[in-house]
Structure 1
């Protein structure tokens, strides 16, 4: 405990300190000030468990002192006991209005002083226990929330890996395009919660390919129009798999699965959405997914070089891609190259 006593009369300080000492356990810090300015500075640097202050003092009277302390510590955090003369009824009203929790009249009566101080210290201890309990509860909530997020991420990873066993695209592609998406979102200044959710949800973009027949999904050559129509169904299938979850992250994954093949000019699929009618997460993933697909080798095509791939993104600004997302990706080009190097495909 730490208790501050402020009184410009040394003998009063000595008396109050002795009374407080008898009421508090060993090790309690009792600090005394004859200067209210010095006492206020100490209260600014510390969180006292109790402040006992006189009314009549130079520089700052008791009411001014209490008002200043209340700007630092609220009444339910730091209790304040005002000591004033018995005839100053108006002053007592003012001190309570200023934020004092209680007051005592001079001369101090020990039989009145002891129970009032005990009550204030008891209330302070109860508040500290409640605050510690709240801190522990908040820590538990944060821990449990982190566990839920970790389980969600594990679920996403496992589902994405399940799709990998059927899809010629690789685990490296999933990691690269997710981190490219994160780069774009961060550069756009989106909220941290959105960015983190996008990083986790983006790998689910092609989960609908689990419903695509092997003869189409694994075909090494160009698809026919009929086969392409079947292939395009993976966007709706992915949405159907993920839709309806109570998890905001899975909800975003469903949205991405449905919209990452939409094009900014409305020529995409499955719904031909135009411009900002396409959800932002879908517009971001479209840039990240196409760029990585272009620069990655597949059984049906060789990898494009970086210059050719970047040129396609630039040419697709405003038609295939949201121009803002393309510009954000290119603005973080050096970081994109680090991601590309970091998440290499296994041989």
Structure 2
């Protein structure tokens, strides 16, 4: 609920003539739900208006130091006051002044001497206009909040879908949940260090876990084989990037489409010797080049049923050795330059047996 609804409408009256100021202040206070704030000096009135939110300004034209036109001009320069109604008090013969005041943003005029019968309905009309503006603003803010909540719910549902897809692949593969978390955070870290912005990094954080979703289509006899794969078996295993791409590619979700590209290209190599398409260099999408570094590093440094975890120094050596052949050199460089953050990610995401080993 808008806190202004129970507060009186604030009417600022600016006039250097004390008698006029008292008269207009009393006329304002007679109106229900209004409160007059009177000022003889325009500078003081301007300061108050810039520090508080008035609902209506009534300002005389002829004033020392700053006339009414200049006062209006300075008020309108403050964007918060764009929808603030302003009444100017002028003599009936000052037509050129009125034209200038309209150009500066005056909404209506009162003619000297002040006539109470004219004053009250004009003020009431201006305050109704103000109420309409405030109501429109409140509706816009409420709508924006509803859109924000609806968008957040969509993102949450999309994240849940991605998580469940990734977990489905995990259940059929020796890789662990902690591996998925680490490699996706490594991927986001590399993206940010390459200068591609927070939004892309967050998209990558959500999409990278789907890199191996295509393993859902690989037979258990091959996927879970404890020993080395035969040539024919490896050819079957090499189909999982294409399978993952086919699962995700036609989604209406930009994150799932990003996941499709990652699934298809994270086994490509920078020198063109990877699979499934033998892409090379910058022809490999950036997201595929990033995930290749993150995935290989974490796979090497993680324990599996068929292998022990590599020491960090050995894994770093392989990244450096594969820089420019297997991996995009820039991705390797920023990853190793961010070693402190890499270590924090490794410590944050660990399975139970990994935590015990670290302890």
Normalising by structure 1, we get a TM-score of 0.96
From 142, 146, 169, give the equivalent of 2:148.
Answer: 142
Aligned 1:92-107 pairs, distance under 5 A: 92-107=98-113
Partner of 1:7: 15
Other-structure match for 2:261: 255
- Is residue 57–residue 87 contact of structure 2 (8 Å, CA) maintained in 1? yes
Unmatched segments (≥5 aa) in structure 2? 1-8, 354-359
Aligned position for 1:290: 296
Query: Which residue is 1:276 aligned to?
Result: 282
* Higher alpha-carbon deviation: 320-329 or 243-252: 320-329
TM-superposed CA distance for 1:76, in Å, is 4.7
Q: What displacement does 1:50 show? A: 0.7
The answer to whether the 8 A contact 1:47-1:73 is kept is no
Aligned equivalents of 2:235 and 2:267: distance in 1? 13
SS in 2 for 1:82: strand
Decide whether the 8 Å contact of 2:297 with 2:315 is kept in 1. yes
Contact 2:69/2:101, CA 8 A, preserved across alignment: yes
Q: Which of 211, 233, 249 in structure 2 is aligned with 1:243?
A: 249
1:57-68 mapped onto 2 (5 Å cutoff): 57-68=63-74
Structure 2 counterpart of 1:30: 36
Alignment of 1:68-83 (within 5 A): 68-73=74-79, 76-83=82-89
Give the secondary-structure state (helix, strand or coil) at the position aligned to 2:88: strand
Shift of 1:193: 2.3
1:306 is displaced (CA, Å) by: 0.3
2:128 matched residue in structure 1: 122
2:211 corresponds in structure 1 to 205
Change (3 A) 1:189 1:54: same
The yes-or-no answer on 1:40 pairing with 2:46 is yes
Post-superposition Cα deviations, 1:39-70, rounded to whole Å, max 9, x if no partner, equal: 11111112211111110111111111111100
Residue aligned with 2:352, SS: coil
For residues 220 and 260 of structure 1, the distance between their equivalents in structure 2, rounded to whole angstroms, comes to: 23
**Contact kept? 2:75, 2:81, Cα under 8 Å:** no
Could you tell me which residue of structure 2 aligns to residue 86 of structure 1? 92
Conservation of the 8 A alpha-carbon contact between 2:176 and 2:351: yes
Name the CA distance, whole Å, in 2 between partners of 1:346 and 1:206. 22
**Where does residue 335 of structure 1 map in the other structure?**
341
Is it true that 1:164 corresponds to 2:177 in the alignment? no
- Shift of residue 265, structure 1, vs aligned partner: 2.0
Deviations 1:201-252 (A, max 9, x none): 1111100001011111111222222211111110000010011111111111
Q: Which residue of 2 aligns with 1:153?
A: 159
CA–CA distance in structure 1, aligned partners of residues 37 and 191 of structure 2: 53
What is the RMSD computed on CA atoms of the aligned residues? 1.4
Report the Cα offset of residue 170 of structure 1: 1.0
Q: What is the match of residue 25 of structure 2?
A: 17
Aligned residues of 1:76 and 1:127 also touching (Cα < 8 A): no
Task: Provide Cα deviations, 1:139-159, integer angstroms capped at 9, x if missing partner.
Answer: 111111111111111111111
**1:306 matched to 2:317:** no
Secondary structure of the structure 2 residue equivalent to 1:2? strand
Distance 2:330 2:26 in 1: 71
Are 2:67 and 1:54 aligned?
Answer: no
Partner of 2:235: 229
In structure 1, distance between residues paired with 2:97 and 2:80: 21
Q: Provide runs of 4+ in structure 1 moved above 6 Å.
A: none
- The residue aligned with 1:183 is 189
